[in-house]
Chain A
Amino acid sequence: MASLDYIFQLDVPFITTRQATIALNTLSPDPILKPNEITVEYSTKDTQLSIVFKGLSDRVIRVAISNVIENLKTIVECMEEFDN
């Protein structure tokens, strides 16, 4: 099995620990479509959400990052509007 050599880590700062956890819980349920091409792991440390992408190639990683960032935009927008 080809190894997932291309690794990228995205660290996203939130205002509160609760927000970071909510973001993790929102992103993590959806399964990865091609697990032999890419894996995505989520974790939180205090107010920071860390996402580690490991993939077969640059392209695969780019696509995954792009998807996650689009979802993060929605999450952050919801938080800005509705977290009070």
Chain B
Amino acid sequence: MINLDKHIKPSRDYYLALGLEGSANKLGIGIIKHPKGELTATNRAEVLSNVRDTYISPPGEGFLPRDTARHHRNWVVRVLKDALAVAGLVGRDLDCICFTQGPGMGAPLQAVVIAARTIAQLWDVPLVGVNHCVGHIEMGREITGAQNPVVLYVSGGNTQVIAYSKNHYRIFGETLDIAIGNCLDRFARTLKIPNDPFPGYNIEQMAKRGKNFVELPYTVKGMDLSMSGILAFIDSLAGDMFAGNKNKLLVAADGSSVTPEDLCFSLQECLYAMLVEITERAMAHVQLQQVLIVGGVGSNERLQQMMAQMVQDRNGSVFATDERFCIDNGIMIAHAGLLAYRMGQTNELWDTVCSQKFRTDEVYVNWRDD
């Protein structure tokens, strides 16, 4: 039994944490409240505010670090104000200020940590550095109640299959090259699909209208997967399609021409089947029955549907969060940070430098003892 209350303020029986997230194009700030004692189904964390602003680049373009950092700098004070106002709090009420220390894009991460350091000193509140992936995992566990699932973490910047073992979130499988969200985003650029609300969502809508399945390379390698080959292949197909070049892969079984919708459909079917396969492998290998999907790509309905079909055959269950929590947000940082804070973690200023490549398994998860 772990004692989670060694650092509680004597005058209170709860904790308040602010979380700042800006590792990619979403700037999210949230405030969470933890009651005293272990978090259980009857003793739950409470979201006091969860504010977010997303930097959306024009169709055909990705978001660049400098522009993204500028967006975050322009919005951080406004979003902070909003988060505090919605929660009805002032800075000095907080137990800690949690921020994403990595992984992610360098300039945007730094833009946010500058604000975090400043307010921490203004309000005299300690800072807690948080791993972005662990934020997703802990928020997923809290929201869905999944105790010990295999976690599929899929976003623009990450594709990992994770399972907890002895105080670490261990990576069982991952992408050998690009992340799935990145693959989808880049194909969206090839097709010049709008980026609003996010490119993957628009690919999903187009895929729903596709029906011809085009054979794409299927590249699962053990517990890992590779996606750059598929992207190159489908980019080339799209190129032929737009240029009107003859390509027998672009002719469907019934003789009709393959459409962009068909390509979106085929890409999803192929990529998601690969994700489900490596998740199933991890489940079989460690003998766990639950799957938790986190990260922005986790909001995709087709992926959730495919995962549900797979676990059904194994008598397991799937858990997923809604877009408030699966897309990058500040609350998940506040939550994971507060768990670490309650176990004694704070970061001195010199120790708040962000890192683009902070591995999930580097974090010592001392708030769990299973």
- A and B touch in their complex, CB below 8 angstroms: yes
Where the two chains meet, the residues of A that have a C-beta atom closer than 8 Å to any C-beta of B are 22-23, 25-27, 29-31, 70-71, 73-75, 77-79, 81-83
Kindly identify which residue among B70, B117, B123, B351 contacts A26, using a CB–CB cutoff of 8 Å.
Answer: B117
Which residues of A sit under 8 angstroms from B270, Cβ to Cβ? none
Instruction: State the total of A-B contacts with C-beta under 8 angstroms.
Output: 58
Which residues of A sit under 8 angstroms from B91, Cβ to Cβ? 82
Which residues of B sit under 8 angstroms from A31, Cβ to Cβ? 353
Judge if B279 is at the interface, Cβ distance under 8 Å. Answer: no
Which residues of A sit under 8 angstroms from B353, Cβ to Cβ? 29-31
The A interface, classified by DSSP as helix, strand, loop or mixed, is: helix
B121 touches A70 (CB 8 A): no
Kindly identify which residue among B73, B76, B349, B351 contacts A25, using a CB–CB cutoff of 8 Å.
Answer: B349
B114 touches A75 (CB 8 A): yes
Report how far A25 CA is from B121 CA in the complex, Å.
9
Q: List 20 A-B contacts (CB under 8 A).
A: A25-B121, A25-B349, A26-B118, A26-B349, A29-B117, A29-B349, A29-B350, A29-B353, A30-B353, A31-B353, A71-B110, A71-B111, A74-B76, A75-B115, A75-B118, A77-B77, A78-B77, A81-B80, A82-B119, A83-B122
- Chain B interface category by residue count: 20 to 34
Q: Give the top 8 A-B pairs by smallest Cβ distance, nearest first.
A: A26-B117, A78-B118, A22-B121, A77-B77, A71-B114, A74-B114, A75-B118, A29-B350
Instruction: Name the interface residues of B311-370: CB closer than 8 Å to any CB of A.
Output: 349-353
Judge if B168 is at the interface, Cβ distance under 8 Å. Answer: no
A78 touches B119 (CB 8 A): yes
A79 touches B118 (CB 8 A): yes
Which residues of B sit under 8 angstroms from A78, Cβ to Cβ? 76-77, 80, 115, 118-119, 122
Which residues of B sit under 8 angstroms from A75, Cβ to Cβ? 114-115, 118
Most buried by B among A30, A73, A79: A30
Report how far A74 CA is from B293 CA in the complex, Å.
35
Judge if B170 is at the interface, Cβ distance under 8 Å. Answer: no
Most buried by A among B110, B114, B349: B114
**Nearest-neighbor residue (CB-CB) of A30 within chain B:** B353
